Structure 1
Amino acid sequence: MTSSRPLTTDTARPAGHTSQLLLILGCALGLFLNHSTVVEGVNVSIADALLVILVFALAAQRRLIIPPFVIMFFLAVLAISGVTATVLTPVLFGVDAGPAVISDILKMLVSFGYLICGIGVAMAGIHMSVLRWFAIGASAVALLGIVIEVVGIPALRATMYYGGARYRGFMVDPNYWAVLACAAIAFLARDTKMRLAIRLPMILSLIVSVLLSASKTGLITMSVLLAVLAIDSARKSRLRVEIALIFVGVGIVVTAAWGTIAQAVNGLVDQYVEAFPQLQRVSLLIEDPIGAISEGGSGRADTWASGLTMVERSPFLGVGIGSYRAVNGSLFGETTVAHNTYLQLAAEWGLPLAILFLGWMVVLLVRATNITGDDVVANDGLVVRNMVIAFLIGSFSLSLNNARMFWLFVGVLIYLVYQQRWGEQGRVKPRDAGTAPQWTTS
């Protein structure tokens, strides 16, 4: 890309000449992010095929750019964790992960593809359309779940419910679906292009679908997300102090009356638990939030302890990409993942790389919060920031390091944050996508 034009708001939204092909492919990708299945032990999605086509289309339209710091970090992770997995881990732990290393390297490359695709669709100015179709698809799947629950469609229930009781949509796991639904809620809550009369039923259907998933992680994610949305609204209000005092007051009242609230909720759950058995898990979460996540049938405490042991034994280099399950099996007889993205990254990448990545994520979120200038860019930044936050909250009890939509959201956020920041410093010259694509400032 040889143009020296500044990447300002105008160039970020070139609606007049953006290829219709990009728009169609991008919206289809967003829609099919609501699908995931396991084929021969590999988690695949229809969106993956669309990703390959869209990346080539973005390159052809000169919308495919890779910031140097992004590619350098990915290469560092692949090199360090790859060497660790193939050389160090067999010596330290007596384990050779074999094909799992190649498999996870491919997963990381796919994640990298979604990230640069996110940057590309944002640069083309179609990111909100892509995310809107993601949210529309999630809402449609949520509504389908409600219909199945009320009407009863045995064939769909067998396909879209985990264990016949927990709704998972077209995803492989009900917890994954619940976090995805929360990300869709985050988008719809601030999407100004759709009328509230349309958005509200969509949001309500997504909330109900989270309840139908019986995901404790989803319920916590949704609760924290709603608090974040409320804080965003308060920040924009002229009555910030008064609203802050109301939040504090409500918090104190809820804390003081938690026992009474829990008893009332459990009484309500008991009335409907036979018709909707998913509510039983809500009751467990109300009674003992921490215990419900770490124990309560989830077994997270033991799983996390295993991951911490790996970090303790190899804190700087980790066990290497793709080696977590093999090492876990060798040490503890369990071939599960960490069920915690932060622990998963620390155990596989090592603490330095994991801390560097998570620290950068914090910086990215803070900068997205403080975007100034163009109101449209600032609003887009907050929307995507909240979608990323939904996945970061869910990451406390799920391993979402390879989640497709997470990396797409991060890519969009990178462009929105740095495009605005560089626009203040001077012009940005994205080099030709066919040579060494990167961003430089002049």
Structure 2
Amino acid sequence: MPRPIILAVALSSYLSWRPSLDIMFTLSDLLFLLGLGLLASRHRLPLQPFGALQPAWLMSFTVMMAGLLVASLGARDPSRWLIVAMQYAFAWVVLPFAIAGHGRAYATTLARALVAGMVAMEAFGILIYVSFQASFEVARKVLGLDFLSGNRRLGVFATDANWNGAAIAMTLPFVLFLWRAGRLRTAAMLVAFAVLLVSLLLTASFTAFSSAAIGLAIFGVIAGIRLPRWVVGGLFAAALVVSQTGLMLPETFNKRVAGAIENGDISEAGTFTGRVALIDDAWSMIEQHPFSGVGVDQHRVISKLKAPVHNMYLLVWVEGGLVALLGWLGMLVVLVMVALSTLRRERDVAGLVLAVLVTFLIFSAASPHMYARLWSVPVILSLAMAHGGAVRRTPRAVAALLSRRVEA
């Protein structure tokens, strides 16, 4: 296994580690390219990373890009399509060849790298959170874009607290999966889980917190997790200590998340009101031209609110028309089909895929364009686990098979 790919997966959420914030090309991306080059030189690239569903995946992706292209040709800046198309192609078409289709052991090693990279990033973030008391401007200059936001939400190297929360929510099921598979000891699992949970609270993201809870519940039910009694007792004791000592949750978490949960009113969660306004604005555009979009990245230009809608479905519909939306939905259908196909065979794997996928689907209704690698890597890696037991033919293997048949 190429070591650059292991390191690339570990750093896939470190979005601020790039030469320019204007270009989405990170250190992780560079390492992926190096790793792909090594795989190609060794004739180890898989023919179909997603197995039999690979043609459907590529067709759906092509339909989405075609819809965005046609809409962009009549837009003010058609060149934006090329940039966004390259980003989506790298995240969802190229990366599967580096991550999936190489067997279960390969995917498990990458899953451990993902967890290690996330735990290291979040542990460093927690340390900075409790020790760094300078102003927001100083924090941004020293630590990078939104490592700590103005209201002290933890974004670390993901450049955004919500994105950091999403990465955490999609990593937590991997922690439990590796523990169940015997590739992570109980003590290490508890440490990793605790670090990620504390960081999740510090992101103060309602979407991340709720999706993490749903994802973990799905994994627990499908995989049939039964925690050791001493773990359950420890969690109960910790909860008792917190309740008796009056230990407070982060203030930002109380304002943005806890209140909405306690009162059962989602309008109190984060920037819910602003997001609803963006959704209303997007719907008004869709009603004006439901079949033809306004072009890639043009919604923020012509919108009354001068911002893109934080909903992937509506954003693709607005910018690429109905055709692009159908392509995006087709890609999601493929993901769901892969997840459901594992239910009868391996319940732990099925629980992992569904937990990660549910988090991704929830965030796709709360995020703009989703080509950043922190979205694609956990999803593709979970699918790699689902197809881990299948036989993969590399170009060299296919050539050898054909030559044996000819000789026979």
Confirm or deny that 1:175 pairs with 2:162: yes
1:179-219 CA-to-partner distances (Å, cap 9, x unmatched) read 10111111101112001211112111111111111112211
For residue 267 of structure 2, the aligned residue among 273, 282, 291 is 291
Counterpart CA distance in 1 for 2:68 and 2:266 is: 32
Aligned length: 363
> Could you tell me whether the CA contact under 8 Å between 2:13 and 2:158 is conserved in 1?
yes
Q: Aligned in 2, Cα 1:164/1:269: closer, same or farther, shift over 3 Å?
A: farther
Closer/same/farther in 2, CA of residues 199 and 415 from structure 1, 3 Å limit: closer
1: CA distance between counterparts of 2:40 and 2:349? 24
Q: CA deviation at 1:372?
A: 6.3
The Cα offsets for residues 297-322 of structure 1, whole Å up to 9 and x where unpaired, read as x6101111122223223323433333
The residue number in structure 2 matching 1:12 is none
- Closer/same/farther in 2, CA of residues 271 and 314 from structure 1, 3 Å limit: same
Query: Any idea what SS the aligned residue of 1:350 has?
Result: helix
CA separation in 2, counterparts of 1:409 and 1:357? Answer: 18
Q: Deviations over 1:332-385 (max 9, x none)?
A: 1x332211122222223333442453355245335424426765xx64454244
- What SS does the aligned partner of 2:158 have? coil
Give the SS at the match of 2:24.
strand
Q: Partner of 1:126: helix, strand, or coil?
A: helix
Could you tell me which amino acid in structure 1 is paired with residue 10 of structure 2? L
Report the 3-state secondary structure (helix = DSSP H, G, I; strand = E; otherwise coil) of the residue aligned with 2:110. Answer: helix
Change (3 A) 1:349 1:59: farther
C-alpha distance in structure 2 between counterparts of 1:162 and 1:393, whole Å: 23
1:272 corresponds, among 245, 248, 259, to 248
Q: Determine the structure 2 residue equivalent to 1:138.
A: 118
- Check whether the contact 1:59–1:433 (CA below 8 A) recurs between aligned residues: no
Which deviates more, 205-214 or 275-284? 275-284
In the other structure, the counterpart of 1:383 is 352
- Determine the C-alpha separation between the residues in 1 that align with 2:70 and 2:98: 27
Q: What TM-score, normalized to structure 1?
A: 0.71
Matched, 1:304 2:309: no
Aligned counterpart, 1:405: 374
Secondary structure at the residue paired with 1:162?
A: coil
Query: Is this contact kept in 2: 1:213–1:278, CA < 8 A?
Result: yes
Partner secondary structure for residue 354 of structure 1: helix
Secondary structure of 1:44's counterpart equals coil
Alpha-carbon distance in structure 2 between the residues aligned to 1:76 and 1:366? 19
Q: Percent identity?
A: 21
Q: Work out whether residues 353 and 383 of structure 2, in 8 Å CA contact, stay in contact via their aligned partners in 1.
A: no
Question: Which is further off, 218-227 or 191-200?
Answer: 218-227
- Alignment partner of 2:184 out of 164, 171, 194: 194
Aligned to 2:69: 82
Q: Distance in 1 between matches of 2:328 and 2:85?
A: 17
Does 2:89 correspond to 1:109? yes
Q: Which amino acid aligns with 2:314?
A: L
CA-atom RMSD in angstroms: 3.4
Alignment pair present for 1:315 and 2:286: no
Q: Which runs of 5+ in 1 are unaligned?
A: 1-18, 91-95, 238-266, 436-442
Shift of 1:57: 1.9
Distance change >3 Å, CA 400–CA 98, structure 1 → 2: closer
Paired amino acid for 2:297: G
Distance 1:281 1:60, change over 3 A: same
Letter in 2 for 1:364: L
Provide TM-score, normalisation by structure 2: 0.77
Query: Can you give the 5+ residue segments of structure 2 that lack an aligned partner in the other structure?
Result: 49-53, 227-242, 400-408
The one of 287, 309, 312 equivalent to 1:338 is: 309
The 5-angstrom pairing of residues 161-240 of structure 1 reads 161-163=148-150, 165-191=152-178, 192=181, 193-234=183-224
Q: For the structure 1 residues 233 and 194, does the alpha-carbon distance in structure 2 shift closer, same or farther, using more than 3 Å as the test?
A: same
Contact between 1:181 and 1:206, CA under 8 Å: does it hold in 2? yes
AA of the residue aligned to 1:232: I
